[in-house]
Amino acid sequence: MEIMKAVLGLEDGTFVTGEGFGIEGECSGELVFSTQMTGYMEALTDPSYHGQILMFTFPTIGNYGVDRKNFQHPRVRALGCVVRELCRKPENPPDLDDYYRENGLLGIAGVDTRMLTIKTRMQGTLRASLIVGDDNGEYAVEQAGIVPPISDKELISAVSCREPYRISGSGKRIAVIDLGIKKNMIVSLRHRNADLYVFPHDVTPDRIQECRPDALFISNGPGDPVHATSAVRCVKDLAGTIPIYGICMGNQICALGLGASTYKMKFGHRGTNQPVRYKDGSIYITTQNHGFAVAADSLPEGASILYSNVNDGTLEGFEDPYLDITCVQYHPEAHGGPRDTEIPFFDTMFRRLE
């Protein structure tokens, strides 16, 4: 098989060449890294990576093929994939190269992902351009320099559902704002027999109230949460009238709806091994994927921190008991290891709704 040329250029002038996989083409966006060792297809299909080029720090990716049953969206949402070594002959076909080629996707292998990760940690997240089928580094750097910053992009509408839909259940009625919801969030809610009314990102508070929900749930999503203006309006108008829960971007939306602020992190948290400390001091290892965070000191009176990140102290969840709002920044539905974070979030959510 003929190996394609490929190059990854960064806005700071750095470029690296490697072996292309998938199809010839180019894409530009933020280069972000994930520290997970497994679950690469779950990450690549996570709608929160829309607008980003995803790099894996684990040396070999693709060793168990393409695991379709765990896709978090029907198709890959990351713009491009960057790996140190691509396993081209896994025990369970198809391999990642074949899947990328069949689905018109872009990837590069054979690059020094360790160097690129260290650069990102030192300098912060960088804009990048991936070219497959050519190795013109100067052109890749030029393209990286002209791509708009992710904060300037409205990415949510591209991954949210187009129309409302219902997934019937015999349990509590939950209104869901889909900002790019992962499949496992739906699965976790359905495991508790929830009757789900799923709405697009631009839903109005009145439309949510029409379905007479027992609670409002706000999902993950890509990019800067300030662009989710309709979801923020829903929190502002509905807070105190029904319980509200949020995960990842949903956490940020709830904070914005209460008047708090968010900010872009230096390089974010992405991976399945992020430690968080609960308010009672207990530690959980969590799955995360976010480049924005809630400014803890901006939380309004009545709201308090539930979880904080052990590594850098950033806010990983908050609650407002008076308004009945509970949110986490990490992904309790992701099952990166033991399901210890799914149980306290979702079981507590439904127990409170009884």
Amino acid symbol at 168: S
Q: Which of 19, 26, 42, 333 is catalytic?
A: 333
CA dihedral of residues 14, 30, 316, 275 (deg, nearest 10) = -50
Outline which parts of the chain fall under CATH 3.50.30.20.
4-147
Domain with CATH 3.40.50.880 in the chain: 156-352
> How confident is the model at residue 344, as a pLDDT?
86
Report CA torsion sign: 304, 228, 331, 117. negative
Residue of 234, 248, 254, 327 marked catalytic: 248
Q: Is 87 a catalytic residue?
A: no
Question: Which pLDDT does position 336 carry in this prediction?
Answer: 60
- For residues 107 and 82, the answer to whether their CB atoms sit within 8 Å is yes
Query: Is 196 in a helix, a strand, or coil?
Result: strand
Buried b (16+ CB within 10 A) or exposed e, 264-295: eeebbbbbbebebbbeeeeebbbbbbbbbbbe
The reported pLDDT for the residue numbered 133 is 97
**What does the pLDDT look like over 169-211, one tens digit per residue?**
999 999 999 999 999 999 999 999 999 999 999 999 999 999 9
Identify the architecture of domain 4-147 in CATH.
3-Layer(bba) Sandwich (3.50)
* pLDDT given for residue 340 in this prediction: 72
Instruction: Answer yes or no: 248 catalytic.
Output: yes
Intervals of the chain under pLDDT 70: 1, 336-339
Does 338 sit behind a cis peptide bond, omega within 30 degrees of 0 on the bond before it? no
Instruction: Tell me what pLDDT residue 2 has.
Output: 74
Query: Has 333 been annotated as catalytic?
Result: yes
Does the pTM of the predicted model rise above 0.75?
yes
> For domain 156-352, which architecture applies?
3-Layer(aba) Sandwich (3.40)
Closest among 343, 303, 308 to 328, alpha carbons compared = 308
- Which member of 50, 269, 331, 335 is catalytic? 331
What is the pLDDT, as a whole number, of residue 343?
A: 85
Closest CA to 338 of 278, 286, 281, 288: 286
